[in-house]
Amino acid sequence: MPTLTLVQAVNDALKTAMRRDKSVLVFGEDVGPKGGVFLATEGLTTEFGKERCFDTPLSEDGIVGAAIGMAINGLRPVAEIQFQDFIFPAFDQIVSEAAKLRYRSGGQYTAPMVIRTPYGGGIRGGLYHSQSGEAYFCHTPGLKVVVPSTPHDAKGLLLASIEDPDPVLFLEPKALYRSIKEEVPEGHYTVDLGTLRGVREGKDCVVFCYGAMVPVAVKAAEQAAELGHEVRVVDLRTLLPLDEEGVLEHAKQVGRVVVLHEAPRFCGFGAEISAMIAENAIEYMDAPVVRVTGFDTPFPNTLEHHYLPDARRVLDAIERVMAY
């Protein structure tokens, strides 16, 4: 079983899907012979030809609009947006067209397409290459929003997304592209969308997280263990659809909850987790839900290490809920 980085697992998933299904094609800015900014599509044009992996003009709305047309007509497009920060020119195509196609056509048409894009901080990209915009899209019925945190999940979730009958926004945490490695099965396998992943066991507190914040949560949990706190870490993996029953079950079992993400706090995804628990499991809670997030400011460059949540901030939150 090969050992892959997360970006290599993405590349392997794309090759696996394209070998299995000739209707799968990949396109975007510089994804062809160059292989993409992060080399996620390296080698695809060589193996599958420029008809199935090709460069596009610098037009995000054109990229997504073309993908919608292809999906309606029987193809399985995988469109890459070079950085998630650049996705907003295509916002209308995603939320008004792709997400609503099944509903507006009464089920006659669907949009089986994937929009891959690296998101988040960790590479000192500054305010135009570091944003985390998942909450914008989680507010849109008809979309699926997926965020892997390991190479194994990156491959399995991406293959499941490509095979899904509805549009999927696949957010890849660029901070983890090459910082972690693990064994990844060869060939085809999928990880079901809408499922959680238990990362670490614990009975005193649970940290819900996703993407690049998963290893941060694990580090904080290890530090909490030195203080006598057994902290559970749960990777949400799919934000939309969210495994709500799974979230509530973990919250009820433990009674103390921390929610962690690097996006800004106000109206961030953590607010939905907090509200869900307040509405459905408040009688099981021994402390208020505490959120650890990025700040409500543009993403800074030189102060990136202050903006991004770290293990110290997560540990502070764990101690707060444990002391309540």
Q: How many CB atoms lie within 10 A of CB 61?
A: 15
Taking each helix axis from N to C terminus, what angle separates 6-20 and 151-163, rounded to the nearest 10 degrees?
Answer: 30
CA pair distance 144, 168, nearest whole angstrom: 5
Q: Which residues, including other chains, have CB under 8 Å from residue 125's CB and lie 6 or more apart?
A: 83, 301
180 token code pair: 């972690």
- Pick the catalytic residue from 129, 152, 229, 250: 129
Beta strands in 126-253 (DSSP E): 144-146, 168-173, 181-183, 197-200, 205-209, 231-235, 238-240
How many beta carbons lie within 10 A of that of residue 54, not counting itself?
A: 17
**What span, in angstroms and rounded, lies between the C-alpha atoms of 132 and 87?**
11
Token digits of residue 316: 């502070």
**φ, ψ dihedrals at 277, nearest 5°:** -70, -40
The span from the first CA to the last CA of the chain, in angstroms, equals: 46
**Measured between alpha carbons, how far is 4 from 183 in angstroms, rounded to an integer?**
6
- Catalytic (active site) residue 129: yes
Angle at 175 between CA 171 and CA 314, to 5 degrees: 95
List % helix, strand, coil for the chain (3-state, nearest 5): 40, 20, 40
Annotated active-site positions, please?
129
